[in-house]
Amino acid sequence: DAMVIQNPRYQVTQFGKPVTLSCSQTLNHNVMYWYQQKSSQAPKLLFHYYDKDFNNEADTPDNFQSRRPNTSFCFLDIRSPGLGDAAMYLCATSTAGTSPEQYFGPGTRLTVT
Q: Which residues sit at the interface with another protein, rule CB under 8 A?
A: 4, 6, 31, 33, 40-43, 45, 48, 50, 88, 90, 92, 94, 96, 100-107, 109
* CB closer to another protein out of 57 and 79: 57
Q: How far is the CB of 105 from another protein (least distance, A)?
A: 5
Q: How far is the CB of 16 from another protein (least distance, A)?
A: 26
Strand blocks (E) in the chain: 4-7, 10-13, 19-25, 31-37, 44-50, 53-56, 64-67, 73-78, 87-94, 103-104, 108-112
* CB closer to another protein out of 77 and 96: 96
Q: Which amino acid is at 29?
A: H
* CB closer to another protein out of 31 and 65: 31
Peptide bond preceding 8 in cis form (omega within 30 of 0): yes
* CB closer to another protein out of 16 and 29: 29
Q: How far is the CB of 83 from another protein (least distance, A)?
A: 20
Q: What sign for the dihedral angle of Cα 58, 62, 63, 67?
A: positive
Q: What angle do CA 52, 45, 27 make, to 5 degrees?
A: 50
